[in-house]
Amino acid sequence: MPLNSKTEFSMNKLLGIMAAIDRMLAFVIKPVVVFISLAVATMLAYGIFSRAVLNVPVFGLEELVLLGAMWLYMLGAVLASRERSHLSADFIQVICKNQTVIRVMHMVATIISLFMAIMFATWSYDLLAWGISKGQSSTVLKLPWYLSQSSLFFASVLFIFYLFRDFIGDLRDFCSPEQVTAEPEKQS
């Protein structure tokens, strides 16, 4: 079912706006991921050196590493979702060469993933709200638990954003099959 030019223009405009937001998010998230990675690696190395060589444990370091690791993991998952490089089972392309079937299956997979991301956002919001209301904190540094719990909610909102972008792209590709080119034959 081909799109009329007005609908196609609207989809392309929406995808353009989303691409601008995506560039801004990537501009912020990528340096944060690098910083957190370096910080976690440095803290772990210092903790091991302090405990093994100096024979002096650093209290609270594990809490900071856990906080950094939670944000690092979630931001890494966001970047994978951004690039569509997260784990997927694209076996349909192996067993079927019909481009229409492949596009439909991509849409179905995106819809299922979007539904799951919404469920994850709901769950992570409830967890974050519960953590804020309970006021729990870490043992040594007294860091509020919601600092690490917020990474789950933040990531789930971005998962929804990227999956919605992917759904709009999949829908446009499905409705405009002339834009999609066939995958080149693989050479042995």
pLDDT value at residue 3: 65
CA–CA distance, 188 with 124 (Å, rounded to integer): 46
**Which among 107, 124, 108 has a CA at the least distance from the CA of 159?**
124
The separation between the first and the last C-alpha atoms of the chain, rounded to the nearest angstrom, is 36
CA–CA distance, 180 with 114 (Å, rounded to integer): 23
pTM greater than 0.75: yes
Burial 136-167 (b: 16+ CB within 10 A, else e): eebeeeebebbebbbbbbbbbebbbbbbebbb
Instruction: Give the pLDDT band (50/70/90) at residue 186.
Output: very low
Q: What is the pLDDT of residues 137-177, one digit of tens each?
A: 988 999 999 999 999 999 999 999 999 999 998 888 888 75
